[in-house]
Amino acid sequence: MKKPMFAIRGVFFAFFLLLTIPAGALAHKLPAGFKGFKDSASCAPCHKKIYDEWSMSMHSRSDRKSDPAHNAVFLAFSRTMAKAGKKAPYFCGSCHNPAAGQSVGAKEAYASVPGIPCAFCHSVESMSGGKIFNTYSLSTSMTSSEAVSGASAPHPVSKWSFASPSKMCLGCHGKMKNGKGTVICSMDMEGHSDCVKCHMAETAGSPADGSGKSSHFSHLFPGGHYINIMKEGISLSLEVNKGKLLVNVKNDNPHYFPSTSPMRAAYVKVALLDKNGKILFASPAPMPGKKELFMRVFTAGDKKGVPPWMAEKAVDSRIKSDETRTLAYDIPKGAARARAVLYYRLFTPAAAAKFGIPAKDARPVKVTETGINVN
């Protein structure tokens, strides 16, 4: 597939529009007496298993230094701003590097801590709804889903105000809109299920040295960068019905497939072969408008494929939670076998080329494949 799948031009304009909102409204609220965040490495001596998991997660690699894809998109945004004679503030940090001074609107300088550190999530007290995205109110003490006294931990831990630990994820994952109020990405819309159950599975090993527990909630937070989680809940099956080949893609996940970043794409490739393995039919390249592509394409009026900053609506061909998408194909004469492969991409090749995102991030990854005899 040589042709770029779609033009992702304009993603940075969406961010441009966001900037008409005062930067202070995008910062997290600090408690009185705040002295800065502890580096995650300081938790490692006692929480080794959790620290090792977190170190491999995208939460530890979400900032400009450690995520080349994020940095590339931010630089593209900066160049656009520079053309308009403006300096780009790093408001992305509210979610991508929340323990950087600018992201919390700290008046006094303090050392910023990379990624989404332990000390950020574990000082969240509550969430404040925002117009384009949410922010958090932070506490000076350590917080968690359970209160722990200083007797069992060298540091007391107080309880989050959220009804469930999942609710604390939604400050960053809940929503992001453009200047027109059009949703760019949103877990709010995809369903508030128990994030912890799937993305923080209970795993063997004590959560802390000196703890009485023998298992802990994994801090690997697998998503698009861990293809194994893609295999869960997504299934592909083939059948022949009334002379047609039916390709069924079933999504048992609580999210759309793929979710949630608008840059993600998934597609199937279908082929019908004769008894010698010669290809008689191959499905077209997965372009917008083709049934084989599962992705969101933004629209304005009757224009399709507009950049997100112009977006009023979206043509969303992603597969909804609990949906089975069925694609039908004519079976050519002489066909003996059919096969289908489901692929996932973090970024489209067009987006990678546009932003200078490392090409490896645009490589298609095989999720699953299957085949049947059709004669």
Which one, 183 or 336, has the nearer CB to ligand HEC? Answer: 183
Verify binding: residue 254, ligand HEC, rule CB under 6 A: yes
Interface mask toward ligand HEC for 180-209; x: CB under 6 A = -------x----xxxxxxxxx------xx-
Q: Is 129 in the site for ligand HEC (CB under 6 A)?
A: no
**346 near ligand HEC, rule: CB under 6 A:** yes
Structure-block tokens of residue 369? 């494949």
Is the separation of the CB atoms in 45 and 118 below 8 Å?
A: no
Rg (CA), the chain: 23
| Among the listed residues 30, 104, 106, 116, the single contact to ligand HEC using CB under 6 A | 116
Q: How far is the CB of 114 from ligand HEC (least distance, A)?
A: 12
Q: Indicate whether 125 belongs to the interface with ligand HEC (CB under 6 A).
A: no
The torsion angle over the Cα atoms of residues 92, 98, 101 and 105, rounded to 10 degrees, is 80
Least distance from ligand HEC to the Cβ atom of residue 28, Å = 8
Binding status of residue 177 toward ligand HEC by CB under 6 A = no
338 binds ligand HEC (CB under 6 A): no
Contacts of 229 (CB under 8 A, 6+ apart): 198, 199, 222, 223
CB atoms within 10 A of CB 359: 11
The nearer residue to ligand HEC, 12 or 329, going by C-beta atoms, is 12
Of the candidates 28, 105, 100, the residue with the CA atom closest to the CA atom of residue 65: 100
Select the residue interacting with ligand HEC from 16, 27, 49, 77 (CB under 6 A): 77
Residue closer to ligand HEC, measured from CB, 169 or 273: 169
C-beta of residue 224 within 8 angstroms of C-beta of residue 346: yes
141-160 residues near ligand HEC, rule: CB under 6 A: 142, 144-146, 148, 152-155, 157
Q: Using the rule CB under 6 A, is 94 a contact of ligand HEC?
A: yes
Residue 217 in contact with ligand HEC, rule: CB under 6 A: yes
Residue pair 208/152 in contact (Cβ under 8 Å)? The answer is no
Q: Within 13 Å and on the Cβ side, how many CA atoms surround 164?
A: 10
- Length in residues, the chain: 375
Cβ neighbors of 109 (< 8 A, separation 6 or more) are 101
- Answer for which of 210, 243, 277, 301 binds ligand HEC (CB under 6 A) is 210
